[in-house]
Amino acid sequence: MPNSNAEPSGGRRPMAYELDPAQPLDAEVRRIAINLIDHALAQIEAAEAAPHEAVHEVRKDCKKLRGLLRLIRPAVPSLYKQENAVFRDAAAALSGLRDAEAAIETFDALIDHFRANLDPESLAPLRQGFEDHKASVAAGAQALDEQLDLARTALVAARERVPEWVLPTDRAHADAHGEAGWSLIGAGLHKTYQRGRRAMQDAYAQPSVAAFHEWRKRAKYLRYHLRLVRAAWPRVLKATYKEAKHLGDLLGDDHDLAVLEQLIDQADAFSPNRDPEQILLALSAQRSAQLREAAHGLGSRLYAEKPKQLDRRLQCYWQAARG
């Protein structure tokens, strides 16, 4: 059993989205879940002042909750299946308008990247087209306050269930596996890393929007899992976490470009002769190639270890932090 007086990492207290190696893991999982749900509910209660910011924060909290559940998924598959669906659906219900806003943000970022080589005013009709699309989505969507009410109902119910989550205790795992509870989280991290490594190989072997989107999802969960365990050795794992976050940003920007291209292909012409659309599509393809090249270099380092090697290394960090 861990030393209850031990403080991980030289007295440093883990942050809100970090598991404390010195504490029982089942209690830590519940603590983090409740903190995230409470934060999301607080955002909803304060949504009147900044509703779109509230939506963004609630969606982020739901993603973090799903990352936490995925970490323990191999140990509690039925719990994962039930609760993951709740947080997935709550976030999806708030995604429509956010996606339309993201298209405008992606357009602006793309223009800013190539600003020195083009006349931004020539693409102004496209930006207006994206603004019109956003207005159309907002008009056809359920009222934002109703969407937030539905999310609140789902999150309140989920919070009431968290204390009843049936999770293996550290003692049970230590007795069964001799790992002082690492198998509650180790198997999930191993699987996330393994699937991400394979998804990267697939993405460059047969490049496609779908393949890179799959890798993006796996990289995002690796980022969450590194954040959750980084209290085991903060100076080392914080740096790795930052690189995983950067990888996720690169792949996220690439995915946003793919969504932007799809919107252009599906929409009516934003301009009379579609010349601006063709220019934007060419810029998007060039930027996508740059992002994928950068992601390859970074991913090759992040996924350099074999999954079993990573698992053994992080387990050693974790056990050392437990004292």
Among residues 221, 211, 209, the alpha carbon closest in space to that of 245 is found at 221
pLDDT in tens, 191-201: 999 999 999 99
CATH architecture for segment(s) 15-165+183-322? Alpha solenoid (1.40)
Query: Residue 45: pLDDT band by 50, 70, 90 thresholds?
Result: very high
pLDDT in tens, 1-12: 344 344 444 455
Amino acid identity at 100: A
pLDDT in tens, 245-296: 999 999 999 999 999 998 888 776 666 567 888 889 999 999 999 999 999 9
pLDDT in tens, 57-82: 999 999 999 999 999 999 999 999 99
CA angle 223-228-231, nearest 5°? 115
Mean pLDDT for 216-237 is 97
Flag the least confident range among 14-23, 182-191, 311-320.
14-23
Amino acid identity at 192: T
Contacts 24+ apart (CB under 8 A), 166-171: 166/76, 166/79, 167/25, 167/26, 167/29, 167/30, 167/72, 167/75, 167/76, 167/79, 168/26, 168/75, 168/76, 169/24, 169/26, 170/1, 170/2, 170/24, 170/25, 170/26, 171/1
CA dihedral over 21, 26, 27, 32, signed as positive or negative: positive
- What is the model's pLDDT at position 51? 81
Q: Is the pLDDT of residue 38 over 70?
A: yes
**Which two tokens mark 297?**
């270099």
**Integer Cα distance of 266 and 99 in angstroms:** 15
Count of residues in the chain: 323
Contact 244, 207 (CB under 8 A): no
Mean pLDDT for 213-242 is 97
Question: 262 Cβ partners below 8 Å, 6+ apart?
Answer: none
* Cα→Cα distances 105→25, 61, 67, 281, Å: 39, 21, 25, 16
Query: Mean pLDDT of all residues in the chain?
Result: 88
DSSP for 98-157 reads HHHHHHHHHHHHHHHHTGGGS-GGGGHHHHHHHHHHHHHHHHHSPPHHHHHHHHHHHHHH
Give the percent of the chain with pLDDT over 70: 89
Mean pLDDT for 230-245 is 96
> In this predicted model, which residue has the larger pLDDT, 178 or 249?
249
Q: Is the pLDDT of residue 318 over 80?
A: yes
Mean pLDDT for 314-318 is 95
- Regarding pTM above 0.95, the answer is no
**Which two tokens mark 65?**
């909750």
- What is the model's pLDDT at position 147? 86
**Which two tokens mark 316?**
């050693």
Cβ neighbourhood burial of 235 (10 Å; 0-12, 13-18, 19+): exposed
Mean pLDDT for 88-92 is 92
pLDDT in tens, 110-159: 999 999 888 888 888 888 888 888 888 777 666 778 888 999 999 999 99
Where do the structural domains in the chain lie, given as residue ranges?
15-165+183-322
> In this predicted model, which residue has the larger pLDDT, 166 or 175?
166
Give the percent of the chain with pLDDT over 90: 66
Amino acid identity at 236: V
Helices (H), 25-76: 25-45, 51-72
Amino acid identity at 265: D
Flag the least confident range among 60-64, 125-129, 299-303, 310-314.
125-129
- What is the model's pLDDT at position 107? 93
